[in-house]
């Protein structure tokens, strides 16, 4: 017999209060008359129509088994439920789905592991020294920094897109997305952002070198006057003499760290842009460029300002972690 849900029990009590017999109510909900009788008796004695908490079936795992599971998972957090089940010696009496439920019940959830830069001791010391110096900067000074960077956006990125579809309809065009194979699958962009929401996005001539970088800057970027501070990473085209000559009258943010995308807030803008471009499925490079410019201009200025506001917190996290990567 099916168990009545709370909404069905409420309707059943309403039907009985309107004069319906318990037999007719039981026939309407296709359950036993005994179940309706018990429900009415419970309600008349001041009981609630809601289900009372139940203890459920007693677990077959002992406390020592739970401690063993925790120890195995803590020793190697990259083991899946099947592997933990095998290590515990419970594969004969437990399924891997049951093990997943046990792991979730003790607070061990499966998540996609985040990528982390392999920072050497020297790089950690440089990051710590740099952030200690930058911790003296106030919000106004950070707001004068112009962040810049290059990023490659693929024409057909390798993404996983979830879709709900009927059985045996995986090749139906309604439930597929466009994917075009191409030899030239990507476009290189260079961009910059300011605190006031001003931004720029350009396509430098590839391959990127000092000449192409300077040519792109001369055509599209006006050198900044004080109090603005221009930030760029330590890529070879940025350190070249021609590039340094172009920026000779610009206040540059010196000693920028290698392997530190977590401190460059424009990386968050690139992530947002790539996500928006991939959802529009450009079919060729020209369409990719047009969509990228369109979506880049649509980015809300408040998002850029929030990223600027997060810089002091990033710096303090790096200091707290002794040069390690921050959470941004």
Domain spanning 121-320 has what CATH number? 3.30.420.10
Q: What is the pLDDT of residue 328?
A: 79
Structure tokens at 207: 């391959």
Per-residue pLDDT of the chain (328 residues; tens, 9 = 90+): 457 777 888 888 888 888 888 888 888 888 888 888 888 888 887 777 776 676 667 777 788 888 888 888 888 888 888 888 888 888 777 888 888 888 888 888 877 776 666 788 888 999 999 999 999 999 999 999 999 999 988 876 655 666 767 777 767 777 676 655 554 678 899 999 999 999 999 988 777 888 888 888 888 888 777 789 999 988 898 889 888 888 888 888 888 888 888 999 999 999 999 989 988 888 888 999 999 999 999 999 999 999 999 999 999 999 998 998 888 7
- Cβ–Cβ under 8 Å, residues 237 and 213: yes
> How remote is the C-alpha of 245 from its chain's centroid?
40
Three-class HEC string of the chain: CCCCCHHHHHHHHHHHHCCCCHHHHHHHHCCCHHHHHHHHHHHHCCCCCCCCCCCCCCCCCCHHHHHHHHHHHHHCCCCCHHHHHHHHCCCCCCCHHHHHHHHHHCCCCCCCCCCCCCCCHHHHHHHHHHHHHHCCCCHHHHHCEEEEEEEEEECCCCCCCCCCCCCCCCCCHHHCCCCCCCCCCEEEEEEEECCCCCEEEECCCCCCCHHHHHHHHHHHCCCCCCCCEEECCCCHHHHCHHHHHHCCCCCECCCCCCCCHHHCCHHHHHHHHHHHHHCCCCCCHHHHHHHHHHHHHHCCHHHHHHHHHCHHHHHHHHHHCCCCCCCC
Torsion-angle region of 68 (φ positive above 0: left; ψ -120 to 50: alpha; else: beta): alpha
pLDDT of residue 158: 58
Backbone angles phi, psi at 16, to 5 degrees: -70, -40
Asked if 222 and 285 count as a contact pair (C-beta separation under 8 A), the reply is no
Spacing of C-alpha 135 from chain mean position: 27
- The confidence score (pLDDT) of residue 157 equals 61
Pairing relationship of beta strands 145-154 and 229-231 according to DSSP bridges: parallel
User: What's the rounded Cα separation, in Å, for the pair 280 and 245?
Assistant: 40
Q: What is the pLDDT of residue 1?
A: 44
> How far apart, in Å, are the Cα atoms of 319 and each of 18, 24, 140, 145?
71, 73, 21, 21
* Tokens 């319906």 belong to residue: 20
d(CA 251, CA 134): 16
CA 250 to chain centroid: 36
Position 66 scores a pLDDT of 85
Q: Pick from 159, 89, 127, 102: which is nearest to 315 by CA? A: 127
């Amino acid at each position: 017999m099916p168990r009545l849900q709370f909404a069905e029990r409420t309707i059943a009590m309403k039907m009985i209060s309107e004069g319906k017999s318990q037999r007719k109510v039981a026939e309407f909900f296709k359950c036993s008359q005994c179940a309706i009788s018990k429900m009415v008796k419970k309600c008349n004695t001041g009981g609630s129509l809601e289900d009372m908490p139940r203890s459920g079936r007693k677990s077959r795992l002992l406390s020592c088994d739970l401690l063993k599971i925790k120890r195995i998972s803590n020793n190697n957090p990259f083991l899946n439920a099947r592997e933990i089940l095998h290590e515990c010696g419970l594969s004969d009496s437990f399924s891997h789905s049951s093990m997943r439920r046990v792991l979730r019940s003790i607070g061990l959830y499966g998540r996609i592991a985040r990528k982390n830069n392999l920072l050497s001791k020297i790089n950690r010391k440089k990051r710590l020294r740099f952030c200690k110096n930058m911790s003296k900067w106030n919000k106004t000074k950070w707001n004068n920094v112009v962040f810049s960077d290059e990023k490659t956006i693929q024409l057909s990125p390798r993404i996983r897109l979830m879709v709900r579809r009927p059985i045996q309809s995986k090749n139906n065009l309604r439930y597929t997305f466009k994917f075009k194979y191409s030899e030239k699958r990507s476009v290189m962009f260079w961009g910059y952002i300011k605190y006031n929401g001003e931004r720029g996005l350009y396509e430098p001539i590839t391959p990127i070198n000092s000449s192409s970088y300077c040519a792109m800057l001369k055509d599209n970027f006006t050198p900044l006057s004080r109090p603005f501070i221009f930030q760029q990473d330590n890529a070879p085209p940025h350190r070249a003499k021609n590039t340094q000559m172009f920026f000779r009258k610009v206040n540059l943010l010196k000693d920028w760290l290698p392997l530190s995308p977590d401190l460059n807030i424009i990386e968050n803008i690139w992530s947002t842009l790539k996500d928006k471009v991939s959802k529009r499925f450009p079919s060729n490079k020209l369409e990719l460029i047009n969509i990228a410019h369109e979506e880049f201009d649509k980015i809300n200025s408040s998002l850029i300002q929030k990223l600027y506001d997060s810089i002091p917190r990033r710096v303090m996290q790096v200091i707290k972690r002794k040069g390690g990567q921050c959470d941004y």
